[in-house]
Chains A and B, each alone.
Chain A
């Protein structure tokens, strides 16, 4: 009875609606378009009435019913309260062809015979149109093109449909068999078995020595070493450092081949996953990174998030220089593995508060930086005590309850995607008004990355007061996270209410097939002060948590992780988190 468009269910019309449409031409609700009134731009849609006009049921004269419907055929208004009486139903029964009505307060179509809401594409489009553009008589036509442009027309190229490739299983050919034998060591044989299974720790857990305030680097590297798609990429030999250096040596003609952070990552993966448990010193990596980020090359403490960003840039830059590809669309992740894994697309809607015109832009992003909410009065001191008690409660089922005073990651995301009124000192230029106006801005996520990195803005730098401070407030984060409410499709749907929303046309986008569920796999925490602090990473492997404190790796209870002060949280798409619960020892 319903078909899928864009992964969302589109309801089929009821028989009465079909009959109505067949009788009244292709666009039977055209007349209603002019009757839709929207409160201040962006508000609710309702059927237009004079301010002094009070809607009443034609049968019982009651105006205080909660559901009043206007018959689309004859414009008579009736109440509908199925338990007591439904004069709307009576009307539909008494006159055939008068089953379809519209809710006067909500501008939603209703079939009185079926007792259920029905949907019509044209009607919903008209409602949405009225909500997005203040439809004064002259601008109705230009308004519709503008809306179509901003919503459906201007798709970034990377959202085009991608052709799927058939799956073909792979077998090594003779050449690959030989190189396999030459350049690899057996992971599990009699000699090595003791090395691997003695500590009972999963693969890839190896301490990283602190080379002088390099915990910022070690913590991020530990997280990246266990980012499933990244780990698979390097362990799957997708960037072979020998081949890459050889190629670059040939191009440059010098033995001291060019800097390639991806090669250094490859070396790091090889070292960490070799089975050797003694702590590893990532000196070569540090040196390479210094060359890349010269301004940060020192033994001073650095910010882990800055390091993360510069690392991704470093991997990207090298690849781009190499391939000299024509600019692949931003956010598609086609350029390099760093973007393939971390790059998502954010959508920003800016609506003019005066005329309602909305402009939409898409920007790629590799992570999301979240503000901690301003301290809620009263419960600041006691929140840490409260938070300890609530560890037994799975964070997912906690409501955004402001009484509690605990900041949650979900709360931060909700605030991130909330419609925000920009201050009068931040007026933005409105294309329609041709002047700067006060605006309403709302962010949402157009495309989810494979791995979502959330960065909590704990370090406040105030250039005005020439000081920085750290925000220590505890942030609760869930182990499983569903990103659906923060997607553009969800945000838009909640903005316009219950409509068939012709979002991005009817195209099936490959990214919509991926689920929105994510699993936490790494947490980078910071303890201490702004100028003297320490980074530690917690990793989740085989459903166990491990604390990676530079060279020391210990298994810890999940309650320790929940209590930690999260600075960066790494979530991977649940579908890529496969086999994590299995024992990775010898299977």
Chain B
């Protein structure tokens, strides 16, 4: 599916990154192009399931839906709800492993 290449970027001052891609962008592109990002995502999914993080988030969502009523909740509500808690409760071991993988990827990609 093609992107909408003909559409000029909306001049929105606050988000405009300028024309120089920052380091984060470059790394992200490299990760995607090599397929490493997908592998990392799969690994991350596995780890988060193993340590029970996914179940915790599920439980949070369930409790929220129960409180608000099934028909009054949207996906955006749930994302808004669990994003801060989710980010905070990722185990350090998982973060460390992910960082390590990215680091080793970068060193190998730089060669």
Spell out A's residues near B (CB within 8 Å): 1-2, 9, 35, 39, 47-49, 51-52, 54-56, 58-64, 67, 70, 74-77, 82-83, 85, 87, 90, 110, 114-117, 399-402
Q: List 15 A-B contacts (CB under 8 A).
A: A49-B1, A51-B33, A58-B3, A59-B9, A59-B12, A61-B9, A62-B15, A62-B25, A74-B4, A76-B3, A76-B4, A83-B80, A85-B15, A117-B74, A400-B52
By a CB distance below 8 angstroms, the chain B residues around A114 are: 74
Is residue B24 contacting chain A, with contact meaning CB distance below 8 A?
yes
Checking B7, B9, B28, B80 against A64 with a beta-carbon cut-off of 8 angstroms, the contacting residue is B28
Is residue B71 contacting chain A, with contact meaning CB distance below 8 A?
yes
Apart from A51-B35, A54-B28, A59-B10: 17 A-B pairs, beta carbons within 8 A: A47-B1, A49-B1, A54-B29, A54-B33, A55-B3, A60-B9, A63-B25, A63-B29, A64-B25, A76-B3, A76-B4, A82-B76, A85-B15, A115-B75, A400-B52, A401-B52, A402-B50
Question: Is the contact region of chain B dominated by helix, strand, or loop, or is it mixed?
Answer: helix
The 3 closest A-B pairs by CB, nearest first: A116-B74, A76-B4, A115-B76
By a CB distance below 8 angstroms, the chain B residues around A77 are: 3-4
Spell out B's residues near A (CB within 8 Å): 1-4, 7, 9-10, 12, 15-17, 24-25, 28-29, 32-33, 35, 38, 50, 52, 55, 70-71, 74-77, 79-80, 83
| Closest Cβ neighbor of A49 among chain B residues | B1
Question: Is the contact region of chain A dominated by helix, strand, or loop, or is it mixed?
Answer: loop
CA distance A49 to B3 in the complex (A): 10
CA distance A116 to B3 in the complex (A): 23
- Are B74 and A58 interface neighbours, CB within 8 A? no
CA distance A400 to B50 in the complex (A): 8
CA distance A551 to B7 in the complex (A): 86
Q: A59-B12, A60-B16, A62-B17 are in contact. Are A82 and B80 (CB under 8 A)?
A: yes
CA distance A115 to B77 in the complex (A): 8
- Are B1 and A35 interface neighbours, CB within 8 A? yes
| Closest Cβ neighbor of B35 among chain A residues | A51
| Closest Cβ neighbor of B49 among chain A residues | A400
| Closest Cβ neighbor of A402 among chain B residues | B50
By a CB distance below 8 angstroms, the chain B residues around A58 are: 3-4, 7, 9
CA distance A61 to B15 in the complex (A): 9
- Are A116 and B33 interface neighbours, CB within 8 A? no
By a CB distance below 8 angstroms, the chain B residues around A400 are: 52
| Closest Cβ neighbor of B2 among chain A residues | A75
- Are A61 and B3 interface neighbours, CB within 8 A? no
| Closest Cβ neighbor of B33 among chain A residues | A52
By a CB distance below 8 angstroms, the chain B residues around A52 are: 33
- Are A64 and B52 interface neighbours, CB within 8 A? no
By a CB distance below 8 angstroms, the chain A residues around B9 are: 58-61
Closest chain A CB from B14 CB (angstroms): 8
| Closest Cβ neighbor of B55 among chain A residues | A399
> Which of B1, B35, B52, B74 has most chain A Cβ within 10 Å?
B1
Closest chain B CB from A119 CB (angstroms): 12
Q: A54-B32, A59-B9 are in contact. Are A110 and B38 (CB under 8 A)?
A: no
CA distance A115 to B72 in the complex (A): 12
- Are A1 and B32 interface neighbours, CB within 8 A? no
Closest chain A CB from B40 CB (angstroms): 13
CA distance A56 to B17 in the complex (A): 13
- Are B80 and A2 interface neighbours, CB within 8 A? no
By a CB distance below 8 angstroms, the chain B residues around A74 are: 4
- Are B38 and A60 interface neighbours, CB within 8 A? no
Closest chain B CB from A66 CB (angstroms): 9
